Structure 1
Amino acid sequence: MKAKGLLVAVVLLAALGGAVYWSNKQQKEEAAKPPADAPPKILTLNEGDVTAVDIKRREGETTALKRGGSNNWSITAPQAFDTDRDAINQLLTALTSLSSEKVIEEKPADLAGFGLKTPAVQIVLSLKNGKTRTVSLGDEAPVGGATFTQVDGDARVFTISSTTRATIDKLAVDFRDKRLLKLDVTTLARLQLTLKGTTLEFSKNGRNEWAIVSPKPMRADGFEVDELARKLTDAKLDPLTTSDQKADLAKQFAASTPVATVTITDAAAAQKLEVRKNKENKFYARSSVVEGFHLISDEIGKALEKTPEDFRNKKLFSFGFTDPSRIDYKDAARQLNVSKAGDRWVANNKTMDSVGVQSLIDRLRDLSATKFPDSGFSTSEIEIGVTSQDGKVIEKVSISKAGDHYIARREGEPSLYELEAKSVTDLQKAASDVKEQPPAKGAGK
C-alpha cells in the first residue's frame, strides 16, 4: 500500500510539474507576441545588410548614399560629399525597422487615391544579396498628418506617422558632414595655435594631459585647451550657401583681420583652420579640409580672441580636487611637515587638527598667478613641498617678496608666477593655524 501511494504521489507531482512547465512556456510565448493592437511592421531588415540607399523624388533631386570600406558612408548624388555618421545611422535604424500606424487597405483597387500610383518619394534599399527593397511614400492622409505608404511585394497600404516620414524623407544636405574640421576629439594628440603674434604648440604628455612644448616648455590649462578643441570641432558650414553668397564670403574673408590660425592633429592627420573678423565683428573661416570660406558662430570666434596667457596653467599646484598625502611648509615663522596616516594628519607622531590642515590645503589649491613675469624672483621667503597621487607627484615651490606682491617659482620649470599679496598672507596664516588636535572631551579622567 505504501509503495502504491508513493507511486501515485510521484505521478501527480510529475503531472503538476508538466502543467507548470507548459503554463510558463505558454506565458513566455504570449509575452513575446506583439500586442493585438500593435501597429504592423512594414519592413524588417538587418542594418548591416544594407549597402546603398537611394531616395528618389518624383519632383526634385535624387539622393544616393553608398556604404564603402570600413563601414563608411558617402553621398554620391546629386554631388559627392562626406556624410554625417549620426544622420546615416538614424536613417538606417528607421528604415530597417519600419513600423506603420495602421493598415488602411489590404487589397486596394486603385493606388492613385493614396498618391501611390506615382509616389512622391521612393526609397530604394540595396542589399548584400543583390536584392532591393522599395518603400513608397504617397499623399498625406486627410486627418492627422500621416503619410500613405507601401512596400514592394506587399499589396497593403499603410500609414506612417509624420515623425517617421521626417526621419526617412530627407535630402542630401541632411546627410552631409558639415564639420569644418573632421577630427576625432578623443584622439587629439597635438594642437598649434597662433594668436597675437605668438605661436603656442600643445602636446599630450605621458599622463594624457596637455602641455605647452613651444616656444618653451610650460604648463597648459588643460580645460581651456580641451574647450577650444571641442568648439573647433563643432564649427559647421552652411550647406545651403548659394554661389553669390560663396563669392561674398571669399571677399569678406580677404578683407577681414586675422584672429588666429589653428592646426590640430588627431590619430589620422593634421587639419588647419584660419579665422578672421570683419569690422562688423563677424567671424569668417577657411578650412584645410573643406572647400571655400565660411561664416562661423561668435562662440567659436571669441574662443580664439584670447592671449597666449589664457591657455597657460595659472594654478601654482596641480593636485586639483584630490587632497595631497604630504605637505612640507617653511617660512620665517613656522616649519610644518604633515603627512596622511589613514584618515589622520600626523606631524612629529602627533595627530593634527584636520580642520586646520584642510584650510591650509585649500589655500595652497587657491594659489593662482595674476600674470607671468619674466623676472622679479629674488630671495626665497617661503618653501613648500606638496606630495600627491599616492606619492607619484611631488611639487616644490619657492615664493619671494617683490614690492606689493609675490613671485613664485616651481622647481624644474623656467616660468615665474606673480601672486597677489593677500593670497600669500592667507597661506601664511593658514600654516600658522595648524595645531595639534585637542584631546577628546573626558579623555584622561
Structure 2
Amino acid sequence: MNWRTTLVLAVIALGAFAYLRFIEMKQPSTEEAKRQAQNVINFDRTKINGIVIQNGDEKIAMRRRDNKWRLETPIKDQADGSLIENFLSDLENWRKDATISAKEVEADKNRLSEYGLAKPKLKLKLTGQEGLPEILFGKDAALEAKMYVRFENSKETFLAGQSVRNDIDKKPEDFRDRKLTDLITAQVSRLLLKTPAGEIDLQKTGDHWQIVKPLQARGDDQKIADLIAQITTARIQQFVADDRGDLRGYGLTEPRGAITLFTSEDKQGQLLQIGAVPEKEKDQLYVRSAARGFVYTLPKKVEEILNTKPDDLRDRHLVRIDTNILDRITIDVPGRNKIVLARKDNNWTIASRKNAPANSSEVRRVIDTLQNERVTNFVEDVASNLPKYGLDKPQLQLTLSSFASENTAETKAGEQPFATIAFGKTQGENVYARLTDEPFVVAVRRSLLDQIFTDPVQWQDLAIYKFKPEQIHRLSVSAKSESVLARDAKGQWTWVKGTGQINQANLQSLLTSLSNLHAVRWLPGGAVAQHGLEKPQLAITFTTSPDDKNAHKLLIGGKADNATWSARAEEREGAFVISDADFNTFLLPLAAAPGSPSPSASASVSPSATATP
C-alpha cells in the first residue's frame, strides 16, 4: 500500500468519524430520550406558528406573527399571549401516566367509545412544525384528574393529566387579550387627551414630559405616568361588538372624550374613545379601540381621566436640575458682588474668592432644597406685568450653569447657563418667582430665600484649622487669667506662664479640639460686634512652628444660642459659631488640682514632627 492510498483511507476514516460524531451529538442523551418517551407529544415551541382547536361545531384558530398571537377564527382580534404561552408550557410538560396499546384497543371494538375517543368532541392541532399529529381528547378516567387521549390515525391510547384539556376547552372570547393595549407606560412618548373642557397635548422630551397644549409648561413626570398607566394597565371587562355597526347605543357616535397614545415609532397613535355607561352594568363604561376595531367595557373609574385639567399635570417643582451637568451656581443680589460657587471634583469652591474652599455640604443642601422646592401657586401663565411682582428688578437671581474648560463636539468652552431663577416681591408667607426661560409667574415659600446665603462669608468651608495636635508648639489660653505652655527640646510641654503639675489629659483634649476645629456655621457679615467679639471672654493663641513665627489666634465671644458660641479666627474673614462641647474643652484647667496623682508617662504628649502645613 503506497502513501497516497494510506492518506485517502485516513481522510475517509476521519470523515466517517466526524459524521458519526455529528449524528451522535444530534441524538438526545439517554436521560433526555427517557423524558421524551414519557411526553404525550414532543415539539419545538419556537417553530409553532398556529393552533387550531375544534370544540364540537366551533372552531378556534390562532396564528403567531411577529411574535404576537392573534385570533383568526371565529373572530379576528388580539389573542392573550400569556395564556397561550402557558398552554404551550403545559403541553411541553404533558406526561403519559399509562399507555394502552393499539392491539389492546383493537381487541375490544367498544374500547374507543368507552374512552370517548371514537368520535371525540375536542381536538387540537399545532401547525408550523411538520409531522405533528392532531390530538384527540376523550373522557375523564376513573383516576382523579386523569383522562384518555390519542392521536389521529392511531388507536394507541394514553392516560394523561387534564391540564391541557382545561387550557383549550374554552370559548373563543376566553382567548382574547383583555389588555387594552400592548403598550407599556415607558413606551408612550405622546398623549393626546380630548375632554369636554378642551384638548391636552403631552409630549415626552428625553426623560421628562412637557405640556404642549393648551399651554407650554413642564409636566409632572409621575402624574403623567400614572395617567398613562390607567390606560396601559386597564383590563377589558366585556367584549361587546365590533365597531362597524351603529354605535349610538354605546354613546360612541359622539364620544364624550378620547385618548390617543403615541410611541416614537407610531405617529398615527392608538385611539381610545370613551362613551356611555351601560344601563345594567353601572360600574362599567363603553369604550372603542380604533386599533382593534371593537367596542368593549372598561371599569367606570377610567372616565375620571376626562376630568383632568392642565394644572393637574403641571410640574410643581420650582426648577429641574440635572446635577450631572451642574458646575456653577451664581448668586446675584443688586448692589453686591456676585457670588460664584464652582464644582471641583466632588467638592465646591468659591470661585469669586480665588477658589477658596466652600462648605460643600451647604452647597449640596441648597441644591437639594431647590430640587425639592414646590410651587405654592401658579400666579400667571403669561408674565406680562413683571413690575407688579417685583420681577423686573428681582431682589435675588440664581443662575445654574454647566462649565467646560475647552471646546468639545457637544459643548463650547466656558459657562453655559441652563436655568435662572429670579425672586421678586414677598407677599405674606410667599415670594414671587420666575424662571427666565418660562413665561410663568409662580409663588414659592418666602423662607426659601433665607436658605440661599447672599454673604460670601457664609459659604466658607467649616474647617477653621487643619493641623495635627503634635504640630502645635506654643499655646496661650487667656480667660480670667493667662496660661502659657511650650514644648521643650524633647517635645514635652512645660510652663511658660503658670505653675503646678500640667494636666496632660485636659491639655491633650484641648489640642485635639483646637487643631481640627470646625465651625457649626458661619455668621452673616457685621456679626463681630453683635456677638461680643470686640471684647472676647476667651482668647487662644498658638503657634505651629518651632520658631513660633506661624501664629494663630482664636477669639470666643458671647453665646450665639443655647448650644453654640460666637467665635472668630484672626486669619479668617468673618465670624462663626462653635459647639458648646468645643467651648467647654477650651475652658478645661491646664494645671492639675493640688493633691491629684501625678500624670502617667502614657499621658505625656510625645515628641513629633513640627512641620508647618
Q: What TM-score, normalized to structure 1? A: 0.75
Q: What is the aligned counterpart of 2:400 among 366, 381, 386?
A: 386
Cα distance between partner residues in 1 of 2:448 and 2:37 = 68
The reply to whether residue 238 of structure 1 matches residue 250 of structure 2 is no
Corresponding position of 1:436 = 461
**Do the aligned partners of 1:178 and 1:236 also contact (CA within 8 Å) in 2?**
yes
Q: Does 1:62 align with 2:59?
A: yes
In structure 2, the residue matched to 1:100 is: 95
Which letter does structure 2 place at the counterpart of 1:148? Y
Q: For 1:88 and 1:407, how far apart are their aligned partners in 2? A: 59
Query: Which residue of the partner structure matches residue 297 of structure 1?
Result: 299
Aligned to 2:427: 403
| 2-structure distance, mates of 1:132, 1:227 | 46
Are residue 81 (structure 1) and residue 58 (structure 2) matched? no
Q: How does 1:349-428 map to 2 (within 5 A)?
A: 349-374=355-380, 375=383, 377-378=389-390, 379-387=393-401, 394-404=418-428, 405-427=430-452
Aligned residue pairs, count: 409
Equivalent-residue separation in structure 2 for 1:273 and 1:308 (angstroms): 20
Deviation (angstroms), 1:122? 0.7
Unmatched 5+ residue regions in structure 2? 1-26, 106-110, 405-414, 473-613
Pairing partner for 1:328 from 327, 330, 333: 330
In the TM superposition, 1:41-440 aligns within 5 A as: 41-58=39-56, 61-67=58-64, 70=66, 73-95=69-91, 97-100=92-95, 102-107=97-102, 108-109=104-105, 110-127=111-128, 129=130, 132-152=132-152, 156-181=156-181, 183=183, 187-195=187-195, 197-205=197-205, 207=206, 209-239=208-238, 241=240, 251=249, 253=251, 258=256, 260-266=257-263, 267-268=265-266, 269-275=268-274, 283-291=285-293, 293-319=295-321, 324-331=326-333, 336-347=339-350, 348=353, 349-374=355-380, 375=383, 377-378=389-390, 379-387=393-401, 394-404=418-428, 405-427=430-452, 434-438=459-463, 439-440=465-466
SS in 1 for 2:366: helix
- Give the 3 Å change call, closer, same or farther, for CA 198–330 of structure 1 in structure 2: farther
Is the alpha carbon distance of 1:127 and 1:193 closer, same or farther for their aligned partners in structure 2, counting shifts above 3 Å? closer
Question: Which one-letter code corresponds to 1:123 in the other structure?
Answer: L
Aligned residues: CA RMSD? 4.1
Tell me which structure has the larger Cα radius of gyration.
2
Long gaps (5+) in structure 1:
1-28
Q: Deviations over 1:138-180 (max 9, x none)?
A: 2233343233333346654334444444334443223223344
**Percent sequence identity over aligned pairs:** 17
Deviation of 1:124 (Å): 1.2
- Report the TM-score, using the length of structure 2 for normalisation: 0.57
Displacement after TM superposition at 1:366 (Å)? 1.4
Change (3 A) 1:276 1:371: farther
Inter-partner Cα distance in structure 2 for 1:430 and 1:66? 72
Cα distance in 2 for partners of 1:177, 1:141 equals 33
On the 8 A contact 1:147/1:161 being kept in 2, the answer is yes
Contact 2:94 2:161 (8 Å CA) reproduced: no
Deviation at 1:365, TM superposition (A): 1.1
CA–CA distance in structure 2, aligned partners of residues 50 and 191 of structure 1: 36
The Cα shift of 1:401 comes to: 2.1
Shift of 1:431: 9.6
Shift of 1:100: 0.9
- The amino acid across from 2:94 in the alignment is S
**Residue identity matched to 2:273:** E
Task: Name the stretch that deviates more: 141-150 or 29-38.
Answer: 29-38
SS for the counterpart of 1:43 is coil
TM-aligned CA distance change 1:284 to 1:77, over 3 Å? closer
Query: Which residue does 1:9 correspond to in 2?
Result: none
Amino acid at match of 1:359: R
Bigger relative contact order (CA 8 A; separation at least 6): 1
CA contact (8 A) 1:363 1:427 kept: no
Contact 1:196 1:307 (C-alpha < 8 Å) held by counterparts = no
Q: Which amino acid aligns with 2:340?
A: N
